[in-house]
Structure 1
Amino acid sequence: MINEQIRDKEVRLIGLNGEQVGIVPIKEAQRRATLANLDLVKIAPQAKPPVCKIMDYGKFKFDAAKKEKEARKKQKTVSIKEVRLTASIQDNDLNTKLRNAQKFLAQGDKVKISVIFRGREMMHKEKGEELLERAIDQLKEFGVTDQKPKLEGRSMGVLVTPK
C-alpha cells in the first residue's frame, strides 16, 4: 500500500535515509512524504503499529524488477531428456541412441534411459536390466547414476546426471 491507500490511524515511520522517526499519525507521515516529493510505502503491515517508509516507490519497483531479472539470468534450468530403448534393440541402434544421450549430457541435461517391454518381453526383464547396465557403462565418462535400474509398469528406467 502506498500514500492514500494506507488507512491506519498511526504508523511507525522510517525516514528517507533509513532513520527511525518514531510513531506518528498517518496525516503527519503523509505530509512528510509529500514535502520530500516522495511516497509513503507500508513495508510491514502485520506489525503493531504498521511500519511505513518514505521512499521513491517507482524507483523501488524498478530496482526490484531489475534484481529479479538478474537473478533469473543467472539460474540454470536443467531439463530431463529421455532415451527410449526396447529389449530387442540392435547394437547399431543402441549406439545411435547412446550418442544422443552423450550429447544431452554434454549440454548439461539429465538423461532418463528407459527400456520399454512389449507383450511377452515382460517375461525377460533381465534382458532389459542387462541393456541398461551396458548403457550406463558406456555413459559413465559423461554422467553418473545414483540408483539401480527400477521397473515402473511396462518400462524399466534409470536417471543419468551429467558430471
Structure 2
Amino acid sequence: MARDLRINNGIRAREVRLIGANGEQLGIVPTSRALELAREAELDLVEVAPTADPPVCKLLDFGKFKYEQAKRDSEAKRHQKNVELREVRMKTKIGQHDIDFKTRTARKLLLGGDKVKLSVMFRGREITHPEIGRGLLERIIGSLGEIATVERAPMLEGRFMSMIVAPSKSLKAANERPQAEGDGESSGVDEAVANG
C-alpha cells in the first residue's frame, strides 16, 4: 500500500486537506504551502486519501511509515491460517479396520483446521452400485459427528464419489480460544486427537 501513495512533489492537486504530524486538522491549504510546512518540520507530505475532494495529505516520516506498514502486513500474514483441502481415498471393498483408520485420519486433518475431501473409488462394475459408496461416506460422516460439517454432499465424479467436509463452527471456536489466551497449556483439541 505504501508504494501506491504519492509523496511531496508527486502530489498534483492544487490544494489539499492537511493533517499534522500529531493527527491535528490543519484545514484546506494550497499544496505549495503544505510542502513548505513539510520541509520546515523535516517530514514528508504524503497523500493518504487521493479520492477525497480535496485529497487528504498528512505530514509524516515516509520511511518510518513504510517500515511500520510492512511490519503490520507481515504480522497480519503470520496470523492468517491457510486452510488446505486434503483428500482421504478409499475403495468400496474396505475392511472395518481400514474404515476406522481413514476416519481417524480425517478427524486428525479436521482438528488441524483443514477441509477434507472424502473419496470412494469404484473399480470395474462397482460403478453400477453408487449406493455402496454413498453408504460408506455417510458412515464416516456419522463417525466424525460434531467436529465436521458437510460442505458438499456426496457426488459422483467419473469413477469417484466424493464429498467435502469442513471443521465445524464449534471446533473452530475451540481452536481459536487457546490461541487467544496464549497460556501455552495443551487444549482439549490435543486430547481429542490422542483419544480419537
Q: Tell me whether the two structures share a fold, i.e. TM-score over 0.5.
A: yes
**Structure 2 unpaired stretches of 5+:** 1-5, 172-196
1:62-117: CA deviation from partner (whole Å, max 9, x where unpaired): 22222222222222222121101112223333333223222212322221111122
- How many Å apart are 1:29 and its aligned residue? 1.0
- Of 33, 48, 51 in structure 2, the residue corresponding to residue 46 of structure 1 is 51
**Larger-gyration structure (1/2):** 1
Distance in 2 between residues matched to 1:54 and 1:141, nearest whole Å: 54
TM-score, normalising length: structure 2: 0.73
Q: Which residue of 2 aligns with 1:83?
A: 88
Q: Mean Cα displacement is larger for which, 65-74 or 29-38?
A: 65-74
Distance in 2 between residues matched to 1:26 and 1:92, nearest whole Å: 76
- How many Å apart are 1:48 and its aligned residue? 2.5
Of all paired residues, the percent bearing the same amino acid is 52
- How many Å apart are 1:147 and its aligned residue? 5.5
Alignment map for 1:2-151 (pairs within 5 Å): 2-140=7-145, 142-145=147-150, 148-151=153-156
CA-based RMSD of the aligned residues comes to 2.1
Question: What amino acid does structure 2 have at the position aligned with 1:140?
Answer: G
Question: What amino acid does structure 1 have at the position aligned with 2:82?
Answer: T
Q: 1:21 to 1:147 in 2, by over 3 A?
A: closer
Distance in 1 between residues matched to 2:45 and 2:147, nearest whole Å: 56
Comparing both chains, which one has the higher relative contact order based on Cα–Cα distances under 8 Å and sequence gaps of 6 or more? 1
- How many Å apart are 1:37 and its aligned residue? 0.6
Distance in 2 between residues matched to 1:147 and 1:46, nearest whole Å: 42
- How many Å apart are 1:139 and its aligned residue? 2.3
**Structure 1 unpaired stretches of 5+:** none
Q: 1:142 to 1:43 in 2, by over 3 A?
A: closer
Q: 1:45 to 1:141 in 2, by over 3 A?
A: closer
Q: Mean Cα displacement is larger for which, 34-43 or 133-142?
A: 133-142
Q: Which of the pair is proportionally richer in helix? A: 2
1:107-140: CA deviation from partner (whole Å, max 9, x where unpaired): 2222111112233221011111111122222222
